[in-house]
Amino acid sequence: MAITKKLINWYLVNKRDLPWRATNNPYFIWLSEIILQQTQVAQGLPYYKAFTSKFPTVFDLANAEESQVLKLWQGLGYYSRARNLHASAKYIVNEFNGVFPDTYNEIIKLKGVGDYTASAIASICFNETTAVVDGNVYRALSRIYGISTPINTGKGFKEFKALAQELIDTKQPATFNQAIMEFGARQCKPKSPDCIICPFNTSCVALQKNKIEQLPVKLKALKVKKKYFNFMVMLSADQKTILEKREGKGIWQNLYQFPLIETKQPVNILEIEAELECFSILKNRNFNVSIYNETPIVHKLSHQHLYTTFWILTIDGNLSEGISTTKITDFPVPILISNFIERFNF
């Protein structure tokens, strides 16, 4: 098809020089694809280099402690990706003796791998003719063909997947898949794409109908929830503090944090002091409470906004059950807490 040839020709001229494009090692491609989920290339590139350096083989990743993996992932967000990555590495080592599965149907069984990632790995590493559909592909195809079906629906996925599968070059599926993703990322950008130099500017339906900004269509997500986090930063005379591991499902699972008091609205120092009665570690201890940031730090996640306040608890005496403040950077923590640790002079 003409569109297929144009995409590939555009890609061969305009593709970026990225390290995962210099290999067809499925372990490295898998790492890059997981890192780039929900992440821009510029942000993900240093993490890719760090992971391939620290864990050069799937055996190295499988044998690592989860805390090591989370620490290396720190700041990238969506930490379930790191936990799934680690779990899948163990699965590959235990079930396949470290040999990466080589078909779409086997790859998609890996934890944290969906249709897009399985298609990317299967096509790039094993030349399987299975089309990728990600945000860049949705955007490019919806504009070129003028498709208004919402992309975040089952119907939308099936429609765009079928179209991409129809367009894919069966002789070079890896090149086509990378071409259409790169085209969406660099040429058919979300905002103000340069349509003058686009190879499809004479046939693009969205351009002809002045719908570039309206496509692709995405149904509105659920209302974002507000949560109020109050972290208790305990500091003892022997230079120790308390970090707790987040258990159970939810955000930041298995990461560490300062003791947390979650409230339904912002609270003042008197309300916090009343809440502190629930901490057994503070019983029979003298301590002073002060606020670190008067204005809450708003940490925005995809489904919730965290209004965060750090409270400093200066404790008389020692904290035998605490950790040395000099060791605090050894623990994997959410970027919100990492930024505080970096700013605060322990």
Rounded to the nearest 5 degrees, what angle is found at the Cα of 139, between the Cα atoms of 138 and 142? Answer: 80
Give the closest residue to 311 by CA, choosing from 334, 287, 286. 287
Report CA-CA distances (Å) from 197 to 126, 187, 193, 204: 33, 9, 9, 12
Distance CA 136, CA 185 (A): 6
Catalytic residue among 33, 128, 159, 182: 33
Question: For residues 343 and 310, is the Cβ–Cβ distance under 8 A?
Answer: no
Torsion region of 50: left, alpha or beta (phi above 0 gives left; psi -120 to 50 gives alpha)? alpha
3-state secondary structure of 235: strand
Distance CA 336, CA 304 (A): 14
Give the closest residue to 3 by CA, choosing from 218, 169, 224. 169
Question: For residues 219 and 153, is the Cβ–Cβ distance under 8 A?
Answer: yes
Question: For residues 245 and 256, is the Cβ–Cβ distance under 8 A?
Answer: yes
Question: For residues 118 and 111, is the Cβ–Cβ distance under 8 A?
Answer: no
Question: For residues 145 and 1, is the Cβ–Cβ distance under 8 A?
Answer: no
Helix (H) or strand (E) holding 110: none
Distance CA 333, CA 245 (A): 9
Q: Which two tokens stand for residue 183?
A: 């085209």
33 is catalytic: yes
Amino acid at 260: L
Residues acting as catalytic residues: 33
